[in-house]
């Protein structure tokens, strides 16, 4: 199994800072924040009234108007990101055309941390206003988190492993990591993998507001998400999708496609501590980092860059700092770290997909994107967080870390492809 190497041959994104990889990466590198006042609904009565929306997203660019009405927004975003990823990988939109790959050997694992919140809200209103007989028969298949994988599989003709993993904010990371193992053990030659989320809804914003987990810098949204800064006061909710095409190395070589990076490590652990707070000593996340490095045969000093979960919440950033120190030892003082959530906000289940793309672009370009809005150092977050300005440096190996409610920890390691 270990002889089957897994490479990345395609990527696609939908985000509040760009709806393709080039514009997304340009925003990250230049610290161009995509957060602003909520416009999707009247948020004037909410404790937090800012978010990362994709205001100009048009699903009919990717599907017919009829099809668009039959899928929730999170699934629309997943399909749009998949379309870009497939094009980047030199694949047709429909694998059943017989020109590219065996569709039975292509799987899909693209999921969501929360699923179709807007669809659920809309149909609860229908239930209350018009009665149970008027609830849409599409409610369940539009709402469930696995349906992104189902729709992508149907759309692309991908007949390999098809499932959804739900681990809150680490959903995208676990989806990519588990897809790696499916290829390594021979269940598929290619996987479409990542995460999508569209939770900027009334119930989504209300739920997180009630938890007091979000920033209240409503009058200054561009500076509201400030990972690792001493004056951080919570995350900023956003939407988006990040999808990778993973492929077995020899399969990719046979197709003659450009290889963007190699996926060499994956770690998944549980804190076994609390439903929303990370373990105070960072031990669960540290074990996931060590597991990923062990699978990859790497030492801490081999890692060039860490894209941290870095949510801009008091607990996450402090405990994640401890996790990096526990996993990396002395190397923690030297590794470049950043959180791109200052720019994008927190896209929940899509974060792992989006931030994996950021890691791959860092490897491709030799640029570490900055942690923006870093103004006041926090002695409890004393890593090299690449403050405010991108850094040009060789990035051979990048580690992506995402942590989710329920104590879910996911870590991926990408390496520059060397043949």
Show which residues are catalytic. Answer: 169, 309, 346
* Through-space distance between the first and last CA atoms of the chain, rounded to whole angstroms: 18
Measured in whole angstroms, the distance separating CA 401 from the mean position of its chain's CA atoms is 10
Which DSSP state fits 229? B
Task: State the Cα–Cα distance between residues 1 and 200, nearest whole angstrom.
Answer: 41
Interacting residues of 374 by C-beta distance below 8 A, sequence separation 6+: 226, 227, 228, 229, 342, 385, 387, 388
H-helix or E-strand spanning residue 322: helix 314-328
Task: State the Cα–Cα distance between residues 335 and 410, nearest whole angstrom.
Answer: 19
Task: State the Cα–Cα distance between residues 282 and 381, nearest whole angstrom.
Answer: 13
Q: Which of 340, 355, 316 is nearest to 388 (CA)?
A: 340
What is the residue-wise DSSP string for 267-296? EEEE--S-SSSPPTT-HHHHHHHHHHHHHH
Which DSSP state fits 382? -
Task: State the Cα–Cα distance between residues 289 and 266, nearest whole angstrom.
Answer: 8
CA dihedral 201, 11, 36, 385 (to 10 degrees): 120
β-strand pairing of 50-51 with 36-37? antiparallel
Task: State the Cα–Cα distance between residues 414 and 78, nearest whole angstrom.
Answer: 22
């Amino acid at each position: 199994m270990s002889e089957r190497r897994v490479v990345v041959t395609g990527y696609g994104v939908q985000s509040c800072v760009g709806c393709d990889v080039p514009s997304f990466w340009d925003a990250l590198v230049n610290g161009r924040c995509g957060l602003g006042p909520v416009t999707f609904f009247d948020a004037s009565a909410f404790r937090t009234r800012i978010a990362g929306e994709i205001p100009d997203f048009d699903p009919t660019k990717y599907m017919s108007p009829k099809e668009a009405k039959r899928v929730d927004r999170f699934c629309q975003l997943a399909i749009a990101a998949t379309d870009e990823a497939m094009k980047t990988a030199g694949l047709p939109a429909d694998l059943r055309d017989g020109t590219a790959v065996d569709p039975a050997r292509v799987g899909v694992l693209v999921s969501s941390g929360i699923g179709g919140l807007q669809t659920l809200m809309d149909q609860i209103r229908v239930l209350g206003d018009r009665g149970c007989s008027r609830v849409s028969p599409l409610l369940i298949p539009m709402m469930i988190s696995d349906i992104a994988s189902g729709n992508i599989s149907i759309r692309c003709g991908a007949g390999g492993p098809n499932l959804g993993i739900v681990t809150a904010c680490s959903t995208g990371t676990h989806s990519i990591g588990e897809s790696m193992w499916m290829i390594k053990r021979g269940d598929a030659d290619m996987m479409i993998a990542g995460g999508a989320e569209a939770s900027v809804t009334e119930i989504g914003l209300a739920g997180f507001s009630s938890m007091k987990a979000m920033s209240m810098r409503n009058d200054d949204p561009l500076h509201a998400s400030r990972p690792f800064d001493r004056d951080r006061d919570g995350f900023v909710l956003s939407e988006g999708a990040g999808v990778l095409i993973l492929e077995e190395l020899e399969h990719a070589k046979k197709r003659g496609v450009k290889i963007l990076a190699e996926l060499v490590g994956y770690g998944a652990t549980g804190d076994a501590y609390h439903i929303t707070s990370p373990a105070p000593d960072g031990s669960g996340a540290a074990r996931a980092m060590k597991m990923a490095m062990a699978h990859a045969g790497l030492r801490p000093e081999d890692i060039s860059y860490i894209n941290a979960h870095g949510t801009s919440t008091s607990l996450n950033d402090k405990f994640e700092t401890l996790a990096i120190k526990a996993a990396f030892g002395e190397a923690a003082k030297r590794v470049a770290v950043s959180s791109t959530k200052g720019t994008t906000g927190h896209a929940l289940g899509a974060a792992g997909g989006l931030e994996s793309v950021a890691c791959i672009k860092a490897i491709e370009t030799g640029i570490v994107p900055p942690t923006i809005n870093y103004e006041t150092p926090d002695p409890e977050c004393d890593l090299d967080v690449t403050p405010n300005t991108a850094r040009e440096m060789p990035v051979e190996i990048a580690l992506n870390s995402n942590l989710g409610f329920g104590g879910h920890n996911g870590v991926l390691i990408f390496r520059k492809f060397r043949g």
